[in-house]
Amino acid sequence: MKFPNYNRYNCTQKLKTSLAFSVCLVTLPLLSAPVVCDTKQNSTYEKRPRVLLIGDSISIGYTPQVKQGLSDIAYVERIDGNAASTMNGLKKINSWLDGKSFDIIHFNWGLHDIAYRNEDSPHKNKLDKFNGKKKVEIEDYKLNLQNLVDRLKKTGALLIWASTTAVPDDEPGRFPKDVVAYNSVASIVMQNNGIITNDLYSISKSFDQDMFVAPNNVHFSKLGSSVLANKVAEAIKRHVQ
C-alpha cells in the first residue's frame, strides 16, 4: 500500500540517487583507484513508512515490542509522555504533529477521561470513583474526540483508532460500564469519519489476572502488554504490506 506522505520519501530518494550518480561521473575520472558508486543510500530504510503511536500508559507498555515487531517494515515512534485525557490531547496535539510527517497514526484516549479523582483520596493517584469527579463527561469526550480526529485527518496519514482497554470490576477510580459507553461513542465518531478500529477492548476483556500488574489495576503485566503489542503490530502491518 502507498501512503499519502510516501511520495515525499520517493522524491527525496530519487533526488539523492541522481545527485550521487552525478558526483560519481564527475569524480571517477580523477581517481586512480577503482570506485564503486553506491546510489542506494539506505533506500530501504528511508522508504519505510513512518508510524506514530498516541496513547496513555497502556501504549507506553506496548510500544517497545511494537517497534521491534515492525522494525523491518516501518519506522515507529511514540509521542513523548502520556497522552492522558482528550483535554490534554487537544492542548498538545499540535506539538506532537507540527513539522512532522507520518503515514500511519495509531491512537487512543479514554482511560483518563473516565477516571474519577478526589483530592482527599488516600490513593496515590487520587482515584475515587464514589466521591470523586469524572475527568471528562461523555458528551464532552465525543466532542473532544471529533476535534482531535479533525486535526489528525489533516496529516494525511492513515488513521487507526484503538478502543480503550478493559477496566477490572474493583478498580478504584473507574467503572467498567464507562469503558463500554465511551467506546461506543468513540465507535460512532470513527465510523462517521471512516477510521479503522483496532479492538483492544475485546482482547483485554478476555485477559486473566496474570495479564495485569496487580489486582484491580488497569495496567498490564509484561505478558499482557506483549499480547496487546502483537495486536497493534498486526493492525499496522495489515496496512503496510
Average pLDDT over the chain reads: 87
Mean per-residue pLDDT for 216-224?
Answer: 97
Task: Answer yes or no: are the C-beta atoms of 203 and 227 closer than 8 Å.
Answer: yes
Whether the per-residue pLDDT at 41 is higher than 60: the answer is no
- The yes-or-no verdict on residue 37 having pLDDT over 60 is no
| pLDDT at residue 43 tops 70 | no
Contact 111, 56 (CB under 8 A): yes
Residues 173-182: what's their mean pLDDT? 98
Chain segment 141-159, per-residue pLDDT in tens: 999 999 999 999 999 999 9
What residue ranges do the domains of the chain occupy? Answer: 1-47, 48-237
pLDDT confidence of residue 19: 46
For residue 234, pLDDT over 70 is answered with yes
Which of 20-34, 88-102, 150-164 is least confident? 20-34
Would you report the helix, strand and coil content of the chain in percent, each value rounded to 5? 45, 10, 40
211-221: average pLDDT: 96
Residue in this structure with the C-alpha cell 530504510, named with its chain if needed: 45
**73 pLDDT band (50/70/90 cuts)?**
very high
Higher pLDDT, 73 or 20: 73
CA distance 202 to 174: 18
Q: Once rounded to an integer, what is the mean pLDDT over residues 154-177?
A: 98
Nearest to 174 by CA among 142, 128, 215: 128
Encode pLDDT of 47-65 as tens digits.
799 999 999 999 999 999 9
104-107 and 158-162 beta bridge pairing: parallel
- pLDDT tops 60 at residue 189: yes
More confident residue, 63 or 29: 63
Residue 95 has pLDDT above 70, yes or no: yes
Q: Which CATH superfamily is domain 48-237 in?
A: SGNH hydrolase (3.40.50.1110)
| Distance in angstroms (rounded) separating the CA atoms of residues 48 and 6 | 9
pTM (predicted TM-score):
0.82
Please say if the pLDDT value at position 42 is more than 60.
Answer: no
Q: Which segments of 16-92 are extended strands (E)?
A: 50-54, 75-78
Q: How many residues does the chain have?
A: 241
Name, in order, each residue with C-beta under 8 angstroms of 37's C-beta and a sequence gap of 6 or more: 20, 21, 24, 28
Residue 182 CB contacts under 8 Å (≥ 6 apart), including other chains = 110, 113, 114, 138, 141, 164
Q: Rounded to an integer, what distance in angstroms lies between the CA atom of residue 55 and that of residue 194? A: 20
Residue 47: per-residue pLDDT: 77
